[in-house]
């Protein structure tokens, strides 16, 4: 590919992917939407939709839980689309390269995380000096750092890799290239196996089975199963509420709410809005030592400046908020809201110690991270990823937006309301959440929907093109037809379940099933079973 084209394309990809860490966690760099953007830019929208949708399904269960850095879906999706389009619309080539690219990106992101440690320690120095402006600028340096990492990786891959990939494909034996096509149909099973593992398949296997049956015997699409499962959940919720109205009461006592409202306040809506806007940069300087500590500190700065006028008090406040912090970017805003209340009460000379503020933050991180990871990542995103990716693979241009729009709304609304209500009700908000059935019910409901959807996804998205025929006494015996006669789509669902067992048993199970997919595809083609 030409130098200028490679440069411009790499800049575009780096800007888009940087949102994942640098500015907002908007999800438009996910494969289903990123592939669409690259396809639109390179003039081959259909290949972009196909590759992006397929890779989204491959990575659908590969999620950064608890601060982990898995193979990166974003750069894998966008670069794979570039390779597929520059290879004449050869989607299989791009899909086959998605996982190696994701693993390479994983290493580069880990490098950026380590470099960010230096930024955090520089911020410590500026906090000690009382230079708030430099603290803010140091945190935001994470944006160009992530951009540079993604740009360099993209440029070298596009400029040097396109011709390499093209020549490699030409020289590869036909059986190998055809085997890669088979592997591309097997790889979505990896993502689905990861999902059912995260959603506690052992407990909810029956829901997975229902989704599978609805898709395979009633020919319902993933969208139809999604709508049906949501309707069933709503019906069950209504019945449960009617049977036990008190158990689902999520309202605060009027007395509690009045007490909070009547508390003396210093902070205004202006500071709350500033904290909310800054929360979109919570992961900009994420690192392996204190994770999102500096992002939390950055968000708190407008409030700290309003609450404290003494320089020593400002320094101490900044210092305690540059301590270890790791929480889901959405639910983490509840910690911000509660902390705002505690800092405000401390500024009003109420008996709130520094230790109390720090320990409260620490206590809230765990449960709120669990809620964020299990609900927002593992279930909510999965539902719309499955629907959107399915539509994209079918060539429907609305598919990427079906995925993106709900995630953008969730990003904005959850951050806004968690800050506002965390501040308004303080620790009582978290206490109410922990002591009620709200969270458990919501997690249970979303898992219900998610498991049924994954069961339906297996039927449409996992392809095992077995072509094993025996000739016995002049009669052809097609093994695939026999298996489908027992249970339609028996091979795809069996593959997902086998992968699930491998993931459950082995610590490095994800890499095992990925490699296994390529071995099955290529070896199966060579020996003639596909």
Tell me the pLDDT of the chain averaged across its residues. 84
Is the per-residue pLDDT at 435 higher than 70? Answer: no
- What pLDDT band is residue 384 in, cutting at 50, 70 and 90? confident
Is the per-residue pLDDT at 390 higher than 50? Answer: yes
How do residues 161-170 score in pLDDT, each as one tens digit?
766 655 665 6
- Taking the C-alpha atoms of residue 14 and residue 111, their distance in angstroms, rounded to an integer, is 16
- The helix or strand, by DSSP H or E, that contains position 477, with its residue range, turns out to be strand 475-478
pLDDT number for residue 154: 87
- What pLDDT band is residue 62 in, cutting at 50, 70 and 90? low
- What pLDDT band is residue 33 in, cutting at 50, 70 and 90? very high
pLDDT number for residue 382: 78
Helix or strand or coil: residue 310? coil
More confident residue, 261 or 217: 217
Would you tell me how many other CB atoms lie within 10 Å of the CB of residue 137? Answer: 13
394 phi-psi bin (left φ>0, alpha ψ -120 to 50, beta other) = alpha
Extents of the domains making up the chain = 1-187+264-432, 199-250+436-463, 465-527
In contact, 338 and 429? CB cutoff 8 Å: yes
Residue with tokens 């500190």: 297
* Residues contacting 139, CB < 8 A, separation 6+: 119, 123, 281, 284, 285, 294, 295, 297, 298
pLDDT number for residue 39: 95
Q: Which of 116, 35, 149 is nearest to 389 (CA)?
A: 35
Is the per-residue pLDDT at 258 higher than 50? Answer: no
Going by the DSSP 8-state scheme, the letter that residue 67 receives in this structure is T
- What pLDDT band is residue 429 in, cutting at 50, 70 and 90? low
In contact, 144 and 15? CB cutoff 8 Å: no
Q: Which of 371, 383, 304, 288 is nearest to 333 (CA)?
A: 371
How do residues 301-339 score in pLDDT, each as one tens digit?
999 999 998 999 999 999 999 988 888 888 889 899 999
In contact, 75 and 105? CB cutoff 8 Å: yes
Q: Which of 280, 376, 405 is nearest to 28 (CA)?
A: 405
pLDDT number for residue 261: 46
pLDDT number for residue 64: 60
In contact, 447 and 199? CB cutoff 8 Å: yes
CA-based end-to-end distance of the chain = 34
Q: For the chain, give the number of residues.
A: 530
How do residues 131-159 score in pLDDT, each as one tens digit?
999 999 999 999 999 999 889 888 888 88
- The helix or strand, by DSSP H or E, that contains position 359, with its residue range, turns out to be helix 354-371
- What pLDDT band is residue 392 in, cutting at 50, 70 and 90? very high
In contact, 16 and 30? CB cutoff 8 Å: no
The least confident of 7-16, 33-42, 89-98 is 89-98
Beta bridge partners of 371: none
More confident residue, 361 or 441: 361
How do residues 460-509 score in pLDDT, each as one tens digit?
778 888 888 887 777 788 888 899 889 999 999 999 999 999 989 988 78
**478 phi and psi angles, rounded to 5 deg:** -90, 115
In contact, 46 and 414? CB cutoff 8 Å: no
Is the per-residue pLDDT at 404 higher than 90? Answer: yes
């Amino acid at each position: 590919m030409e130098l200028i084209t490679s440069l411009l394309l790499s800049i575009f990809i780096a800007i888009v992917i940087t949102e994942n860490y640098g500015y907002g966690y908007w999800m438009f760099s996910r494969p289903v939407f990123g592939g669409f953007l690259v396809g639109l830019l390179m003039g081959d929208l259909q290949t972009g939709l196909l590759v992006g949708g397929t890779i989204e399904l491959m990575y659908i269960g590969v999620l950064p839980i608890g601060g982990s850095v898995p193979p990166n879906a974003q750069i894998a999706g966008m670069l794979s689309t570039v390779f597929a389009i520059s290879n004449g619309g050869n989607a299989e080539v791009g899909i086959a390269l998605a996982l190696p690219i994701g693993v390479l990106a994983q290493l580069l992101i880990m490098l950026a995380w380590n470099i960010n440690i230096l930024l955090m320690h520089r911020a410590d120095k500026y906090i000690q000096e009382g230079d708030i402006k430099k603290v803010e600028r140091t945190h935001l340096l994470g944006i160009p750092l992530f951009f540079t990492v993604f740009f360099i990786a993209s440029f070298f891959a596009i400029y040097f890799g396109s011709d390499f990939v093209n020549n490699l494909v030409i020289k590869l034996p036909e059986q190998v290239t055809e085997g890669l096509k088979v592997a591309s149909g097997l790889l979505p099973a990896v993502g689905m196996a990861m999902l059912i593992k995260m959603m506690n398949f052992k407990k909810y296997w029956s829901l997975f089975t229902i989704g599978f049956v609805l898709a395979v015997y009633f020919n319902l699409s993933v969208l139809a199963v999604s709508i049906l499962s949501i309707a069933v959940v709503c019906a069950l919720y209504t019945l449960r509420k009617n049977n036990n109205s008190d158990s689902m009461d999520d309202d605060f006592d009027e007395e509690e709410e009045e007490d909070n409202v009547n508390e003396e306040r210093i902070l205004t809506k202006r500071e709350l809005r500033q904290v909310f806007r800054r929360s979109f940069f919570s992961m900009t300087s994420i690192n392996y030592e204190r994770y999102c500590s500096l992002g939390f500190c950055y968000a708190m700065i407008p409030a700290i400046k309003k609450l404290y006028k003494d320089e020593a008090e400002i320094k101490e406040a900044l210092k305690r908020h540059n301590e270890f912090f790791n929480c889901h970017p959405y639910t983490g805003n509840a910690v911000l809201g509660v902390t705002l209340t505690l800092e405000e009460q401390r500024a009003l000379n109420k008996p709130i110690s520094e230790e109390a503020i720090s320990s409260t933050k620490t206590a809230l991180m765990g449960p709120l991270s669990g809620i964020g990871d299990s609900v927002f990542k593992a279930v909510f995103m999965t539902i719309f990823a499955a629907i959107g990716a399915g539509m994209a693979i079918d060539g429907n241009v609305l598919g990427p937006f079906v995925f993106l729009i709900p995630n953008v709304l969730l990003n904005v609304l959850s951050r806004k309301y968690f800050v506002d209500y965390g501040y308004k009700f303080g620790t009582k908000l978290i206490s109410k959440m922990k002591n009620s059935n709200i969270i458990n019910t919501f997690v249970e409901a979303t898992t219900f929907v998610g498991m049924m959807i994954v069961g339906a996804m297996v039927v449409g998205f996992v392809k095992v093109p077995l072509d094993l025929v025996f000739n016995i006494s002049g009669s052809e015996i097609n093994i695939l037809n026999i298996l489908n006669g027992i249970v339609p789509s028996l091979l795809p669902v069996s593959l997902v379940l086998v992968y699930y067992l491998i993931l459950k048993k082995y610590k490095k199970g994800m890499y095992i099933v990925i490699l296994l997919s390529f071995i099955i595809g290529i070896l199966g083609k060579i020996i003639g079973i596909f």
